[in-house]
Structure 1
Amino acid sequence: MQLQQLLGAAHVQDSTAGSAFLSDRHHVYHGQVAAVVHPASTEEVAALVRVCVHHRAPLVVQGGNTGLMGAATPDATGNSVLVLLDRMNRIRQIDTDNDTVTVEAGCILQNLQDAAREAGRLFPLSLGAQGSCTLGGNLGTNAGGSGVLRYGNTRELTLGLEVVTADGDIWNGLRGLRKDNSGYDLRDLFIGSEGTLGIITAATLKLFPLPKARSTALLAFDSLEQAVAFLSHARAGFGAELTAFELMSAACLALLRQQFPDGPQPFAQAPQAWFALLELSDNHSAEHARQSFEWVLGKAFELNLLADALIAESLAQSAALWQLRENMSEAQAREGRNMKHDISLPISRIAEFVRETDALLQAHFPGVRNLTFGHLGDGNLHYNVAAPLGQSVETHMAHYAALSALVHRNTQALGGSISAEHGIGQRKRELLAEVKSPVELELMRRIKQALDPRGLLNPGKVLP
């Protein structure tokens, strides 16, 4: 009754609210709630938090529910209030002189991209789920995507935040400043905290000039070592104009051809083992972009850094090549569930990691199929492992703990991280204790205790 008086009866749903809110994207985690609420303003969020503090009711914030770690799924106790910020979706201001946009957390990422484009600017965060994920979720997980190579993760794109604290206070840190050394950087604490330290309600983000030309190519490599060497060559040749370098194995392309037979079919008979989708964003002209492409790729052939290349000659061809990368998750879903590993490594160790880990998996789990792809330009691999041909998905997934432990051990041994862009959530919470030092874990717990002393913000997530 108190929540209905605060938000209006139409914006409060009881525990029988649709199951879409109560399960994660892949239906691995399921929860129950006391209520589902839809506040319309930062002030309403703050008042909601104060009510929940009074009743000792946990709060879980959910955006587009596209996450993969169960971070936005409530637990099974049924005590939590699930907060949906879908009514808080306004773009408050676009400042083209300062190249910033201030936007509310419930705004869908693609809508933000479109608004920036209409203002003659680029907001470069680009994800496969951009048509449904929200800015709040992007901030909560420090989302990456295909443009990190040039523009950085969500954290690097953020100048200021507006946050409702665990006490129900409002911190207005929406400063569009690129230089501000006035004390601790609270902004970076909240970004990537998965809703465990505060509720992000709005952000001031960087905008960039729209590129005058984009060039796209699908490249073929004889080995992963060759792909890594080419990437160094491309960085030197293209500089900041190199926007994306998306890796796909031959097995990934084969799966795409199988699951999307009417889609693009490049390199269908190619003998190469690895492929990469390269994109160049040029701020000069289409002619300048073409000349850069020709020079860098031509030199790569001379140096034996490249086996073959398919260059898009039109926007339609470029879109078709990007369709390959964007369909990867759906192609895997159609084939059946597999073991997903969102990891990052120093780029110089990636070929070694794949070679060693592939061999270890075959030794311990004969016949498993590696579907490796990801953002090679920033060291982020989606090292996914599918069932052997003829084996049921259920039998394969029964080995999840042992197989993933092997993958993560080798990731750690080569200086990598168990989570590159998907976060920790529920799925990797216990694993965090194995990969973080006692000092790191204690510091994280102290931060949680200081900012959320009652432990009401997204309990059971991130910290073991």
Structure 2
Amino acid sequence: MWRERPTVALVITPRARLIDLQGASVNDLLDHLRTAVGDAHVLTDGADVAAYVVDWTGVHAGQALAVVRPGSTSEVAAVVTACRAAGASVVPQGGNTGLVGGGVPDATGTQVVLSLGRMRTVREVDPVAGTITVDAGVVLADVQDAAAQAGRLFPMSLGSEGSCTIGGNLATNAGGTAVLRYGMTRELVLGLEVVLPDGRIWDGLRGLRKDNTGYDLTQLFVGSEGTLGIITGAVLRLFPATPRHATAWVAVADVAAAVALLGLAQQHAGAHLSTFEIANRQALELVLAHLPGASDPLAEPSDWYVLVELAGAQTDDGLDDALEAILTAAVEADLAADAAIAGSPAQRTALWALREGISEAQKVEGATLKHDVTLPINRLADWVAEIGPKMAATLEGVRPVTYGHVGDGNLHYNLSAPVGGDDDLRTAAADLSTAIYDSVAAGNGSISAEHGLGRTKAAAGASYKSAVEVDLMRAVKRALDPDGLMNPGVLLPLVGQS
């Protein structure tokens, strides 16, 4: 059990504060911040900061000394420099759509939240080179739109794409529904601009496809969750547009059938297979109950469903035939019981809504315990079969809401409380999570596939890594942030945490 494992001896602690964050010292820091970004963009009133100190789930909440909203990279550097001189910790924040508390302050009231929401400039689109350069505060959907206007595709797609920002996507190495074809965020970035913990600016916005001249600093910051510096700009990869789609909602008996269907789809569709999502019946029922206008596309219920989509260029005329061939072969092999094929853009949108509405529907339902795990694809079916009884034995009536990305081995194994039992779920949360983490580790998997570790999973994440791996991570942290002021307690646990 991860809670019983000893913490690694090498730890990072913030150095003694250069000033006490009390009285006149606080006022001095706030004056420096107002000089850097303007009075209107330093928020201290409780009503003004409220939206910045609670995460999307409503579970993680803290207090902030101030919320600062710089409008440029130079202003970010000035804020970081002022905070460093004052010994104040900095919590970078994008769209505040995270699920593990990585973008909200702790409860001390001494941390400065640095929101990048004003930095929303699309700096350049180069359709020939296949790149787009953007500020970190640009919303993901706006990057997609800017690429589309240039006749190109930025393929990252998330349920929160209307509010999450590129800086946050990069800081957490976000995944999404297109990972099967295009990879994680780290595979979509060519260069970064980063404000370092000492206030210097590293300009790595070169956008080169090849640069074999040393350590890959860009990748060092991707997935670092704001603990090594603040990403202020990025050069991202663009791809040929895929205006043609063939989409189906498929009923399957279990996860083993879904995995087998994935192999069949890859065989028939090849590179055109862009999406292969899974959801259990409990997830669909929540969407049907809470998403206005949602309807079950199939006549009979199934324990599991797969959303499969092929995508191609305007000249790719064979997608519908390929999808039908996949489904025919699946039925003949007893891998699929039924399927609904989208016959129009509106029907495609309706099928996607069933998948993308799960997280919001579960939030409406009540207390939720979220897990974002990844396992070898050939272990997924056995793992789901094994973990279900363990959850039921730990908390009677608990409702697994399982969905995710079979093509990359990632399942969101979320737990909804028993009906009327929100308090029971909270009481059993530690035991439920421990059972899940231990079983994932035993299956050579990871306890976080795409959400990051944040504050929620920092201690657990460290306990499941080897001492050497944690030592290396802490050495990098110490080298770049020796004062320990960049998002402390996120990604790596602080002293005394376990």
Normalised-by-shorter TM-score class = over 0.9
How far off is 1:21 after superposition? 0.8
| Post-superposition CA distance 1:219-243 (Å, at most 9, x none) | 1112221111110111121111111
Aligned to 1:132: 163
Provide closer, same or farther for how the CA distance between residues 42 and 260 of structure 1 changes in structure 2, counting only shifts above 3 A: closer
1:410 aligns with 2:439: yes
Q: Which moved more, 1:317-326 or 1:81-90?
A: 81-90
Aligned to 1:291: 321
Q: Which moved more, 1:192-201 or 1:168-177?
A: 168-177
Aligned to 2:79: 48
1:318 aligns with 2:348: yes
| Counterpart among 211, 214, 230 of residue 242 in structure 2 | 211
Q: Which moved more, 1:13-22 or 1:221-230?
A: 13-22
Q: Which amino acid aligns with 1:257?
A: L
Q: Which amino acid aligns with 1:83?
A: L
Q: Which moved more, 1:275-284 or 1:93-102?
A: 275-284
TM-score norm. by structure 2 comes to 0.90
| Counterpart among 400, 405, 409 of residue 429 in structure 2 | 400
How far off is 1:268 after superposition? 4.8
Aligned to 1:387: 417
Aligned to 1:106: 137
Residues 15 and 36 in structure 1, CA contact (< 8 A), matched pair in contact too: no
Residues 57 and 363 in structure 2, CA contact (< 8 A), matched pair in contact too: no
How far off is 1:182 after superposition? 1.0
| Post-superposition CA distance 1:365-390 (Å, at most 9, x none) | 2322211111111111011122233x
Higher relative contact order (CA 8 A, sep 6+): 2
The whole-number CA distance in structure 2 between the counterparts of 1:385 and 1:11 is 39
TM-align CA RMSD: 1.4
Residues 212 and 285 in structure 1, CA contact (< 8 A), matched pair in contact too: no
Q: Which amino acid aligns with 1:149?
A: L
How far off is 1:297 after superposition? 2.2
Q: Which amino acid aligns with 1:461?
A: V
How far off is 1:15 after superposition? 5.3
Q: Which amino acid aligns with 1:244?
A: T
Aligned to 2:108: 77
Q: Which amino acid aligns with 1:454?
A: D
1:173 aligns with 2:204: yes
1:160 aligns with 2:182: no
Aligned to 2:496: none
How far off is 1:286 after superposition? 5.6
Query: In the comparison of the two structures, how many residue pairs are matched?
Result: 462
Aligned to 1:256: 287
Residues 372 and 450 in structure 2, CA contact (< 8 A), matched pair in contact too: yes
SS at match of 1:399: helix
The whole-number CA distance in structure 1 between the counterparts of 2:208 and 2:445 is 32
Q: Which amino acid aligns with 1:408?
A: Y
Aligned to 2:330: 300
Residues 394 and 431 in structure 2, CA contact (< 8 A), matched pair in contact too: no
Aligned to 1:377: 407
| Counterpart among 357, 371, 375 of residue 345 in structure 1 | 375
Aligned to 1:454: 483
User: 4+ residue stretches of structure 1 with deviation over 3 A?
Assistant: none
Aligned to 1:36: 67
The whole-number CA distance in structure 2 between the counterparts of 1:396 and 1:292 is 44
Q: What residue ranges of structure 1 are gaps of 5+ in the alignment? A: none
The whole-number CA distance in structure 2 between the counterparts of 1:361 and 1:409 is 13
Q: Which amino acid aligns with 1:208?
A: F
Aligned to 1:194: 225
Q: Which amino acid aligns with 2:471?
A: E
Q: Which moved more, 1:108-117 or 1:26-35?
A: 26-35
Aligned to 1:278: 308
How far off is 1:78 after superposition? 1.8
Residues 160 and 176 in structure 1, CA contact (< 8 A), matched pair in contact too: yes
The whole-number CA distance in structure 2 between the counterparts of 1:434 and 1:142 is 21
TM-score norm. by structure 1 comes to 0.97
Residues 212 and 286 in structure 1, CA contact (< 8 A), matched pair in contact too: no
1:96 aligns with 2:127: yes
The whole-number CA distance in structure 2 between the counterparts of 1:265 and 1:302 is 24
How far off is 1:205 after superposition? 0.2
Residues 227 and 490 in structure 2, CA contact (< 8 A), matched pair in contact too: yes
